[in-house]
Structure 1
Amino acid sequence: MAAPVAAPEAPPRATPRRHAWRPWALRLLLTIASGLVFYLSFAPRPLWWLAPLGFAGFALALRGRRFWGGLGYGFVFGLALYLPLLTWLEDFLGASFGPWPWLGLSAALAAFLGVGGALCTLVARLPAAPVWMALIIIATETPRTWWPLGGFPWGRVAFSQPEGAYLPLASIGGAPLVGFAVVLTGFGLTALALRLRKPGLALITPAAATLIPAIAGLALWPAISTTAQAGTLTVATVQGNAPDVGLGLLTQAPTLRANHLRQDEKLAADIRSGAVPRPDLVVWPETATDLSGPDPALAQAVADLGVPALIGARTWPPGGRAQNTEIVWDPATGPGQRYAKQQLVPFAEFVPARTIAQWVTPFVDGTGDMLPGSRPAVLDAAGTRLATPICYEIAYDYVSRAAVDAGAQLIVLPTNNAWYGKSEMSYQQLAMARLRSVEHSRATVVSATSGVSAIVLPDGTIVQATSEFTAASLVERVPLRDTTTLSDRLGAWTEYGLVSAALAGVLTGLVQTWRTRRESANDTRKTVAE
């Protein structure tokens, strides 16, 4: 009798990976933590050194990821940054609007970092990968300064650096170079940590990427001067204060005007009594009053001061559309030169895609678009040429740069931040002003309706500052300077160069990926043929 044939053994079942989710979850948590660390580097916290650490964590999260993974982790990193950074939008709009504008704007900005994360995966295997990855991250800041809906440059990497090792680089290449240096340090730090056990030569590139940006910035500090080159100017600010009512400020124009006239009167009394020195120029904040014709009360207020004033006003030129304007007001001859804000704030000073916006909120039905200006932000007052970017314009490179190129010796920043409550917004804007001071080697006078008003030296140092939602004035002598920094001479070419290099890196990465896949396919075909 034949022996029974043994049944074939069943193939072993694949053991389920019980903890397969852990690497993904840990990477996601690392990405969120890195974005939050980056957020903590922004004002009002003096923690500029956290920014490169945030990017070091982000680089570690991207390690070994492919395109779509990089897109997702970059988007999450962006959300972890922008959601806390832009909470002041909730103070502005109030509970009636809900969280959707805040969430929508945060997601839109995070999408740029998502694209940056995806493109970083294409260059991660190139020589000097930290350099290419840093170039890509900074390159994503360029399109979001003008698209969509006029752009929104808040939260640029450089704006986390109003002090510290990287700030002097602003005098060489402006905000783009400062941001590139910060991100390069972070990405270089991760590459260095991952190669510590490899031979010495392998450490050269990541070590250079980590150390050179900070060393270069520190080496430049002695060249950052605050010395007066064209004399000095004693400037006074008028902070009249405003009610903390967010969007309700739309109906508070008479209150704003009365508050600033009152504080102006107090300043005039302090000058007469000798409590403060007589200024050469007095600066009112953005839209501190409405002005549609002769204004005897305002004329008297300036006459009582006895010196020229720069008045922030909402005006109505022929044509009917309002403008956000700065007016040089002489105590004897009255109003003179004017500058109208060029870069209007979307959904505040104009409503893009108005028909679509009406689907979201009826608020836009009762609002009109302001008329943007078309001339550089330059005014002559008190014998001095002034750069006069208004509020939001300080976030845009071209506004202050064009004014300094036109001969401005001092930056004056009138602003109205009362809309945003007791939030971090005013401090974030002040950080931008400090960066601009170093970028252009000019002192900056910030005059705010409700704070924070400040006097900033050309090295970014704050000499005086007010508190939020208080009535106050500042009087300070500031240096006038006419030097031209390398950043001013290079202008936008620094940014164009960094973006071009980033595009070159992406193209090189794509070619390398295509070649790798082609070689892999050829090897597979050879194996099958054999």
Structure 2
Amino acid sequence: MRLRPPNAPAAPTGIVPAGDTTAAEVTVVPVVPATRRARWKATARAAAPRSAVAAAFGLMLAAAFPPYGVWPLSLVAVAGLALVLEGRTVRQGAWLGFAFAFPFFLWLLVWLRSVTWFAVVGLSAIEALYLVLMAGLMVVARRLPWWPLWASCLWVAQELVRDRLPFGGFPWGRLAFANTGSPFTPLAALGGAPLVSFAVALSGTTLAWAALAAHRAHRGRGTGPWALLPTVRGALPAAGALVLSAAVLLAGLLVPIHTNAVGHLKVAIVQGNVQQPGMHFLGRPMKILDNHVQATLKLAADIKAGKAEKPDIVLWPENSSDLDPFTYPQAYAKITEAVQAVGVPVLVGALVDGPDKEHVQNEGIVWDPVTGPGASYTKQHPVPFGEYVPFRKELTKVIPMLNEIPKDFYPGTHTGVMRIGPADVGDVICFEVAYDGIVRDTVNAGARAIVVQTNNATYGRTGQPDQQLAMSKLRAVEHGRAVVTAATSGISAVVEPDGTIEKRSKEFTQQVISADIPLRDEKTVADRVGAAPEWALAMVGLLSCAAAVAIGRLERTRMAKGQSQQ
């Protein structure tokens, strides 16, 4: 309320205060409350600077991922989010989580524009909601001592849920996938991708802790000639936090990476190429199959002429046969011609009709030069809205574009471990390399090397193939296995068990990569412990929030009792 001078016009409704003061001397005029819209505008103006900073840190995190791959930015981004949450309420923290996450996912998933920009925006908004919840919980956890530890556990909890829900989850954007060539990477051999994400988050939040401690020390500095220096007492927490952050960063360098081989396998990766990038990469029927057949026939001719060494096996990518070879005799004949010419088993990727009229199966099929097609692996984790449509009947009425997926992919029920030539090799198809459990189960089932059959032609030259290749690098270290990626249009690559890329192809070229890969039987600690570290860290994060809430209630109850006794 404001005071009206004595000579001002009388207010329509006035309040005369009690006491000796008369109405002629002063009248209190009520201020009309601001409208809800005005309050929202005022709140938005107040939050805008901090929201812009959060968005900038989100973009930094996106730049930490391939194709840019500036992994130190992942630390800066995590630290930045922790800093902008300082002093915020849970509701404000949740909003800042969205301001951070939405630009991050928007840039990270920009490769989906090949499908539609609606997919980029929609999926980015959905994925950002997980970080909204995480940021709100981080505000709660900050009420406890050692809050960087609890906040880091919440990063793991967020990734755990996002990797699984809904429809099997979508793991893109995990902190571990931005650190496939950093000092954190060897930690994958101990606890998989979740432990790498935890270490990155802990190092980043501890860095923020150091910055906040240094800021408090600067504000509490003394006077006189030492006024520009923080007090020794205030500087110690900042220095300790900084040392702890560096220790977490360098901890991975102490983890031994075992690369000793118990055998070797000569492989030839055939990248046949596609007619064009984008949604309509298939071109005319048999075009992609012809490309892979011709490249294999050329390899066979080079072997016969002594220009190339004969491999033990040949690897074709996902969708290398664009027609079901068991339905179209011409496709069957073409594959057989190529396999017999090269004279060794070929792992063929094909879409096979069945098990009913409404489904197809995405398969890797071992094709022997003598006995023909044999063992096969069916992709276990079809991509929702890419390879099948959930609630098809209802959603196609609202989104007619979903009708471009005429049949749903039928999921497989077993791992991709198959005997191909002289070795047991584990097949993983495309996006499955992003899912911890699928790759881990394949290794534990006896895979001595991992093959990733993939078709990234839709997303060529968008950065998506680079992001997927980074996942192969992490899996190599995590499981101590060579990982061979066979792609229709690139990037095909050979990754050593220590995560180094030995060979890789260019995108949209026809190319054959020959390599001698190590075979290993030893399992890593990550293979043995499975998902236990991830669940443990996630539970610690959630329990810390519960503890913070409980402690807060106890303190409020104690204060209320103290006031009542006074």
TM-score (norm 1): 0.92
Partner SS state of residue 281, structure 2? helix
SS in 2 for 1:455: strand
Q: Is the contact between residue 494 and residue 502 of structure 2 (CA under 8 Å) also seen in structure 1?
A: yes
Which residue number in structure 1 is paired with residue 237 of structure 2? 202
Alignment of 1:432-451 (within 5 A): 432-451=471-490
Contact 2:480 2:498 in 1 (8 A): yes
Over 3 Å counting, the alpha-carbon distance change for 1:253 and 1:394 in structure 2 is farther
What is the CA–CA distance in structure 1 between the aligned matches of 2:549 and 2:325, rounded to whole Å? 58
Pairwise CA distance, 1:40: 0.4
Residue pair 1:131, 1:209 contacting (<8 A) in 2 also: no
1:123 aligns with 2:141: yes
Partner of 1:314: 351
Of 496-505 and 201-210, the range deviating more from structure 2: 201-210
Q: Is the counterpart of residue 147 in structure 1 residue 165 in structure 2?
A: yes
User: Could you tell me which of 507, 512, 526 is aligned with 1:468?
Assistant: 507
Q: CA deviation at 1:525?
A: 5.1
Alignment of 1:102 onto 2:120: yes
2:374 matched to which residue of 1?
336
Q: What SS does the corresponding residue of 1:482 show, helix, strand or coil?
A: coil
Structure 1 gap ranges (5+) = none
Is 1:42 aligned to 2:65, yes or no?
yes
Q: Let me know the Cα RMSD of the aligned residues.
A: 2.5
- Counterpart of 1:258 in structure 2 is 290
Match of 2:496 among 435, 453, 457: 457
CA distance in 2, matches of 1:127, 1:253: 63
1:271 corresponds to which letter in structure 2?
A: I
> How far apart are 1:253 and its partner, in Å?
4.7
Instruction: State which of 378, 386, 403 in structure 2 corresponds to 1:348.
Output: 386
Q: State the distance in 2 between where 1:374 and 1:6 align.
A: 86
Partners in 2 of 1:465 and 1:452 — Cα distance? Answer: 7
Q: Distance in 2 between matches of 1:524 and 1:43?
A: 58
Q: 1:114 to 1:21 in 2, by over 3 A?
A: closer
Distance change (3 Å), C-alpha of 1:13 and 1:317? closer
Cα pair 1:411 1:444 within 8 Å, conserved? yes
Alignment length, in residue pairs?
515
Equivalent AA in structure 1 for residue 344 of structure 2 = V
Tell whether 2:523 aligns with 1:484. Answer: yes
Q: How does 1:326-475 map to 2 (within 5 A)?
A: 326-365=364-403, 367-475=406-514
Aligned residue in 2 for 1:189: 207
Residue 76 of structure 2 aligns with which residue?
Answer: 53
Describe the SS at the equivalent of 1:115: helix
Shift of 1:432: 0.4
Change (3 A) 1:169 1:10: farther
Check conservation: 1:241, 1:469, Cα contact below 8 A: yes
CA distance in 1, matches of 2:78, 2:285: 43
Cα–Cα, structure 1 residues 22 and 212, in superposed 2: closer, same or farther, change >3 Å?
A: farther
The residue matched to 2:159 in structure 1 has which SS?
coil
Residues 244-323 of structure 1: matches in 2 within 5 Å?
244-249=276-281, 252-289=284-321, 290-293=323-326, 295-320=332-357, 321-323=359-361
Q: Distance in 2 between matches of 1:9 and 1:420?
A: 73
**1:46 to partner: Cα distance:** 3.1
> Which letter does structure 1 place at the counterpart of 2:374?
G
Q: CA deviation at 1:231?
A: 0.9
* TM, length-normalised to structure 2: 0.86
* Matching of residue 212 in structure 1 with residue 275 in structure 2: no
Tell me what 2:5 maps to. none
Give the AA of the match of 2:425.
L
More displaced 10-residue stretch of structure 1: 290-299 or 195-204? 195-204
Selected match of 2:188 from 151, 166, 170: 170
* CA distance 1:11–1:185, shift in 2 (3 Å): farther
The one-letter code sitting in structure 2 at the alignment partner of 1:117 is A
Deviation at 1:350, TM superposition (A): 0.8
Task: Tell whether the 8 Å contact from 2:264 to 2:517 is kept in structure 1 after alignment.
Answer: yes
Counterpart in the other structure of 1:24 = 47
Q: For 2:399 and 2:178, how far apart are their aligned partners in 1?
A: 33
* Cα deviation code 1:66-92 (max 9, x no counterpart): 11111111111111210011111111x
CA distance in 2 between counterparts of 1:82 and 1:356 reads 27
Distance of 2:284 and 2:91 partners within structure 1: 49
Distance 1:518 1:267 in 2: 78
Report the CA distance shift for 1:523/1:31 in structure 2 as closer, same or farther (over 3 A): farther
Instruction: Calculate percent identity across the aligned residue pairs.
Output: 39
SS at match of 1:195: helix
Measure the CA separation in 1 of the matches of 2:483 and 2:251: 25
Distance 1:332 1:408 in 2: 24
- Give SS of 1:297's match: helix
Deviations along 1:176-235, one digit per CA (max 9) or x if unpaired, are: 000011111111001011113254663476346412321211222xx213332x211111
Q: Is the 8 A contact 1:43 1:160 kept in 2?
A: yes
* Residue 349 of structure 1, CA deviation: 1.2
The CA deviation string for residues 98-144 of structure 1, in whole angstroms up to 9 with x for no partner, is: x3222111000000000000000111021110010011122111111
- In 1, Cα distance between the equivalents of 2:96 and 2:558? 29
Tell me, what secondary structure is at the counterpart of 1:414?
Answer: strand
Q: What do the CA deviations read for 1:422-455 (whole angstroms, capped 9, x no partner)? A: 1110000000000000000001100000000001
- Give the C-alpha shift of residue 318 in structure 1: 4.5
Find 1:157's aligned residue among 167, 175, 191.
Answer: 175
Q: What residue identity is the alignment partner of 1:213?
A: V
Q: What residue number does 2:106 align with?
A: 83
